Structures are given as structure tokens and as C-alpha cells.
Amino acid sequence: MMYLDEERVRAVLNYPALIDAMETALSAFSSGRIRHPVRSIVTIEPDARFLGIMPAAGDDVMGVKLVAFYPANEGSPYPTHNGTIVLMETHTGVPIAAMDGRLITEMRTAAVSAAVTKWLMPDGARTLALLGSGVQAQAHLEALSHVARFDQIRVWSRTPEHAARFAETNGARAMDAESAVRGADVVVVATSSRQPVLRGAWLKPGAHVNAVGANRSEWRELDDDAMRNTLVVDSREAMLEESGDVIGSGATIYCEAGELFNGSVPPPPRSATTVFKSGGLAVEDLYAAKLVVDEYARRAPA
């Protein structure tokens, strides 16, 4: 069994292929072709340290991701998320590869948002607002550049110095949250906030929101007004157990992203204001890991 560290993963993983793989993964998930229990989360220390166990199995992929989620690491030299993915041969159970999961988690989260944005963003989208200026804001900026061309990028952070640094690095404009969101075509909410930072009243009609934080049942990133828009999720079952935004607002789920991708549910009109609430699924990690392993196999000498 091979082990691939982060640099070896980075060397072969790219957004165009990953975005396509995420559509395939979520289509298979929503078609019922993947056995996929909701993740088990062990609380080591409330609000500070958690351990997640995420298995999944299908005809072409099987494995598990172990993830350490440490909100207490925010602002330290250590990442808030660390993970290891183990990929297995689905018919025999023989381990194929283990790999660092931090970068895969980072990239597949943004790639899923990009895949959904491609289906739901308004026609002629040109303005992007990022609430948050950390790892996921950077990853989303890169991933979304493969599905849209943004003339204007706005960024807000609870720490203004971080927003200013992000803006300088990426050619964006740092501003307050409301100013960043008003008039934006696509909005990304990627924070560690426990309370709403996005107000539905700020959204222009037809805007699309990708919300990837608030991944505990008691945490929120979006207020009830935002959640009353057309809501797409990665997994109904998981969101109704894990997402404070969905649980707290009592929002109606329009569909899973995979149902859009596999054609079982028609997409809403481009004029609809839409929210994609993403919790992250093991099937996404495993299809990304398979992409990495397949690429190394392709490059191996004959």
C-alpha cells in the first residue's frame, strides 16, 4: 500500500478534473449507488477538538476518511482540519493507498461549490463576494475561476488585517460584509462563525450562495431570510442532522446537488436566488483520492 503525502497529492490534483469528479461522485451518491452513513463525530473537547470518521463504499470506490477538526487551532501555525484518507479495492477490501487528506478536503470542498455554481449562478455572473479570507476563501476563488469569469472580487473578514492581506494578494477589494454582498452575483460564506454573518436582506434577486462553514448542528453562518431561498444541499440526511443553518431555520430543501447532476430534479430557473449548503461527504474525498491514485498509475513506467 502506498502513502502519498500532501506534496505528492498536490502534484497531480487539479481543479478541472476534480470538478468533473465531484459531479460524478454526487450523482452516484444521490442515485443511491453509494453506501454512505452519516459521519460519526467524537467530541474530544466542546468547541475546540473533534474527531470525525467518514466511510463510504460503492461499485468503483471504497474507503474511509479520518478527520481531526480543531477550531482551537484558528490563528495558530496549525490547520483547523487535518485528515487521512484510506482507499481500498472495493471487491476485496485490500488497501490500495493512504494519503494526507488536508489538501483533498480543501480542494474538493471548493470543487463541489464550483460544480454547483456552474448549474445555479445567474447568467452573466461577474461579481464574487467572499465572506471569510482563509483557506476556503482562497480555494473557492481558484475553483470558481474555472466556471465563471469575475470582473470584481470583494472580501470581508472578521479580522480586517486578514481581509486586507487577501485583497492585496488576489486583486480583490476588502470591505464590510454588507457592502461585499450587495449586488454580488455569487457569494461564498466560509467562516468559523457560530452566528450568522450573511443576511438574506443583502442578497440581490438571482444571486447564488455557497455556504461551507457552520458544520455543527448548533452553529449558524446564514440567517433565516437567507435560508428561505431555493436550498440545495449535498446530503439531505446529513444536513438534517449536522447543519445548524438547515436545522435552526427549518428551511425546505429543494434537492441534493447530485439530483441536479444526474437529471432526476430539474434545476431552478437562473433568476432564482439559490443557496448551496455543503457539509462535505466521504464520497467526495474518495473520488478525489481515486483521481490521485489513478493519475499516479497512469504516470508509472510500463
Give yes or no for a contact between 85 and 104, defined as CB atoms under 8 angstroms apart: yes
Other residues' Cβ atoms within 10 Å of the Cβ of residue 86: 20
Q: Is 206 exposed, middle or buried (0-12, 13-18, 19+ CB in 10 A)?
A: middle
Give pLDDT tens digits for 48-77. Answer: 899 999 999 999 999 999 989 898 888 888
In the structure, what pLDDT confidence band is assigned to residue 193 with cuts at 50, 70 and 90?
confident
pLDDT of residue 302 exceeding 70, the answer is: no
pLDDT of residue 224 exceeding 70, the answer is: yes
Structural domains of the chain, count: 2
Q: Stretch 260-275: mean pLDDT, rounded?
A: 97
In the structure, what pLDDT confidence band is assigned to residue 204 with cuts at 50, 70 and 90?
very high
> Quick one: 98 and 236 in the same domain?
no
pLDDT of residue 93 exceeding 70, the answer is: yes
β-bridge partners, 156:
131
Q: Stretch 287-292: mean pLDDT, rounded?
A: 97
Q: Stretch 229-241: mean pLDDT, rounded?
A: 96
> Quick one: 135 and 247 in the same domain?
yes
Grid cell locating 239: 444536513
> Quick one: 93 and 133 in the same domain?
no
**Helix pair 102-120, 15-30: axis angle to 10 deg:** 80
Instruction: Give the Cα separation of 170 and 145 in Å (integer).
Output: 12
Q: Stretch 29-55: mean pLDDT, rounded?
A: 93
Q: Stretch 75-97: mean pLDDT, rounded?
A: 92
In the structure, what pLDDT confidence band is assigned to residue 5 with cuts at 50, 70 and 90?
very high
Grid cell locating 108: 474538493
User: Is position 65 within any domain?
Assistant: yes
β-bridge partners, 209:
187, 275
pLDDT of residue 81 exceeding 90, the answer is: no
Other residues' Cβ atoms within 10 Å of the Cβ of residue 147: 20
- C-alpha distances out from residue 160 to 92, 131, 132, 196, 297, Å: 52, 12, 10, 18, 45
Grid cell locating 187: 457569494
User: Is position 113 within any domain?
Assistant: no
Residues spanned by the domain of 255: 121-281
Give pLDDT tens digits for 106-133. Answer: 999 999 999 999 999 999 999 999 999 9
In the structure, what pLDDT confidence band is assigned to residue 300 with cuts at 50, 70 and 90?
confident
> Quick one: 141 and 262 in the same domain?
yes
Rounded to two decimals, what is the model's pTM? 0.93
Domain containing 214 — which CATH number?
A: 3.40.50.720
User: In the predicted model, what is the mean pLDDT of the chain?
Assistant: 95
User: Is position 110 within any domain?
Assistant: no
User: Is position 23 within any domain?
Assistant: yes
